[in-house]
Structure 1
């Protein structure tokens, strides 16, 4: 694995300035009518970990399959390292692939599975054996070389599948829901292992998942898909803290949403009337006076029953539901205007003993409240 292990995080960061893969105006339809992927423009930088995140049917897996060569676009171009790969067979693209079902050959040993892509590329036997030994050490499974896949645990099979994708030193590694079959604890462990391998080797990874926490944990950037289009592409903290629209705000993490009308504005700061509650909030996009908008704010950012300024951004109401979730509680609260919002508190908080029906006062800073366009037809 000499070609892989020479990369360092510093070199990977330098390489990240280069665009390794480029989609331009890519469209894909299976029936000639509905577009599964629509007008896709996307740059993937060398050395980055990019996650395609979205619900089922959003276009993320189809995008990955077109990059892998298992699907072809109806329109547009896909380039890899400056050359078009539209029409190039999958086996000629020098791309590694990791699937959810591992796709290991059951009749082969682990060593034979790992050697297979090298043998198909005409690598000599001595070099194949050296690389197999190196990659097994890298994924910390040197003792399983002579076992068959059925003799491995789910986590071990996934490590071997990842090793097989890396062993021929591809330009790019694609992962399609690779941890979906694992239990929660093993899944979280494998997230960290994959991320660690990425940082050590400086490889370029495109990862598909519908799991938002997985995307936030592992990625340099996240592209949120819906209806065949990218709704937002940004680093994980930007996606979470500054959602671009109502879909991203709903899909990534928990958000309270109140509908309202813009009452005044000054630069990026807005005052919004939400059914009688006046909120101060910020926005990146332009909204006019009288526009119907959404104000979104995260449940964990609220201040509860402490000295709270009278207005704006103060909510008074009562607790209608209390849910224990181990390290925190979720309180569902009905406001005086009838709207429902959620707040998260530590299970060690002095409020943790409050029951349903208890009065509560809440406050969110205007810098933690964001004005977004009202989705079409939802005003």
Structure 2
């Protein structure tokens, strides 16, 4: 072994630091037909002031979890608490939770000011205070000039900011966002990601955000809960989710990842030696896998080293380039190993050596710390 385990991050496997829990799910189950559970045995703590993203593919349980928290759905079993008080059975309008939808849900026949004043009027807030709060929240979202316009007179980004302002104006304990940027184009979507994140940091609000867009989750979140098959597969800070995935699903769903199937040949602490069909890979894992166990080895395309490194890295892959794609700032190469497995490599154009023409042979290297041994199993219902 090469002593990789001694260089593992000290916080490997660490939990989120102790904070005040604002909301908690305990053993929550949800089924729409009484047979199939769309959320199963969910345990989840949401901390005061954090930006938590629920991330996963369609049907993974993330949106149902948000709807149960909002009060639009009720669990079949388990408890949901807000500020230490059960909210199971409490109507949505009594939960003091703000909600932002993908389609904005603004009243088209009302002006922006009237839209913003509506939740305050429903709560019995007086006219003078309503007007002041509307003025203040328009300043917060930097749209003071649109108070007298109707939603149809606003751009998509402006409508989304007004929808966010309406969710914040009555000072809720929690703000929920369900795919709020899904209808926007790429450039505006990226701009709004920054806007929402900055607003969250400035106001210190607690946000639970649902998306299927992995880059959005990594960009905006304090923590990400990755859902699949009605269960949380991993919940951690974005860098931990990306750099230390808990299982094969997370590694595959978050970013590009090469995965080779293999058999554990040996281990020493966190470091493992895996036979991947004749290619020996040295990799790390937070869990010790027994010799003879079938595992997956995952490694990111962008961590490839082209030139022979000094000191040498433990993992060398001799490949034949089968496809080269130019993507502006980098090249994306599809490469075939001698055993027939295919891996992907990303090489910066500035660091490029050679033309990597299809059919050419070359070698790439990976650090053992950039290769992760993962279980082939994922949590299912």
Correspondences of 1:283-294 after superposition (within 5 Å)? 283-294=285-296
Partner of 2:55: 53
Partner of 2:341: 339
Counterpart selection for 2:260 from 234, 258, 261: 258
Label 1:113 to 1:310 Cα distance change in 2 as closer, same or farther (>3 A).
Answer: closer
1:21–1:45 Cα contact (<8 Å) kept: yes
CA distance in 1, matches of 2:309, 2:35: 58
CA distance in 2, matches of 1:151, 1:216: 32
Say which SS state the counterpart of residue 304 (structure 1) adopts: coil
Partner of 2:191: 189
Partner of 1:229: 231
2:267–2:288 Cα contact (<8 Å) kept: no
Cα distance, 1:307 vs structure 2: 4.5
CA distance in 2, matches of 1:16, 1:145: 41
Query: In the alignment, is residue 173 of structure 1 matched against residue 175 of structure 2?
Result: yes
Partner of 2:274: 272
Cα distance, 1:347 vs structure 2: 2.1
After superposition, the CA RMSD in angstroms is 1.4
Q: For residues 96-153 of structure 1, what are the alpha-carbon distances to aligned partners after superposition, in whole Å with 9 as ceiling and x for unaligned?
A: 0000000000000000000000000000000000000011111111111000000000
1:264–1:270 Cα contact (<8 Å) kept: yes
Cα distance, 1:228 vs structure 2: 0.4
Say which SS state the counterpart of residue 303 (structure 1) adopts: coil
With structure 1 as the length reference, what TM-score do the two structures score?
0.93
Counterpart selection for 2:324 from 322, 325, 346: 322
CA distance in 1, matches of 2:180, 2:201: 18
Counterpart selection for 1:164 from 160, 163, 166: 166
Partner of 1:4: none
Partner of 1:83: 85
Cα distance, 1:16 vs structure 2: 7.6
Aligned length: 362
Cα distance, 1:352 vs structure 2: 6.5
1:319–1:334 Cα contact (<8 Å) kept: yes
Q: For residues 70-106 of structure 1, what are the alpha-carbon distances to aligned partners after superposition, in whole Å with 9 as ceiling and x for unaligned?
A: 0000000000001000000000000000000000000
CA distance in 1, matches of 2:18, 2:285: 30
CA distance in 2, matches of 1:45, 1:74: 24
CA distance in 2, matches of 1:16, 1:176: 27
Q: List gaps (5 residues or longer) in structure 2.
A: 1-16
Query: In the alignment, is residue 371 of structure 1 matched against residue 380 of structure 2?
Result: no
Cα distance, 1:348 vs structure 2: 2.5
Q: List gaps (5 residues or longer) in structure 1.
A: 1-14
Query: In the alignment, is residue 30 of structure 1 matched against residue 35 of structure 2?
Result: no
With structure 2 as the length reference, what TM-score do the two structures score?
0.93
CA distance in 1, matches of 2:36, 2:182: 28
CA distance in 2, matches of 1:257, 1:84: 43
CA distance in 2, matches of 1:350, 1:188: 29
Correspondences of 1:106-185 after superposition (within 5 Å)? 106-185=108-187
Cα distance, 1:357 vs structure 2: 1.2
Q: For residues 296-341 of structure 1, what are the alpha-carbon distances to aligned partners after superposition, in whole Å with 9 as ceiling and x for unaligned?
A: 0000111114347888411101110111222211100011221110
CA distance in 1, matches of 2:58, 2:133: 37
CA distance in 2, matches of 1:89, 1:254: 42
Partner of 2:243: 241
1:100–1:177 Cα contact (<8 Å) kept: yes
2:313–2:366 Cα contact (<8 Å) kept: no
CA distance in 1, matches of 2:354, 2:328: 12
2:314–2:366 Cα contact (<8 Å) kept: no
Q: For residues 215-236 of structure 1, what are the alpha-carbon distances to aligned partners after superposition, in whole Å with 9 as ceiling and x for unaligned?
A: 0000000000001000000000
Counterpart selection for 1:105 from 96, 104, 107: 107
Cα distance, 1:374 vs structure 2: 1.8
Say which SS state the counterpart of residue 349 (structure 1) adopts: coil
Say which SS state the counterpart of residue 288 (structure 1) adopts: coil
Say which SS state the counterpart of residue 143 (structure 1) adopts: helix
Partner of 1:208: 210
CA distance in 1, matches of 2:309, 2:37: 53
CA distance in 1, matches of 2:183, 2:126: 35
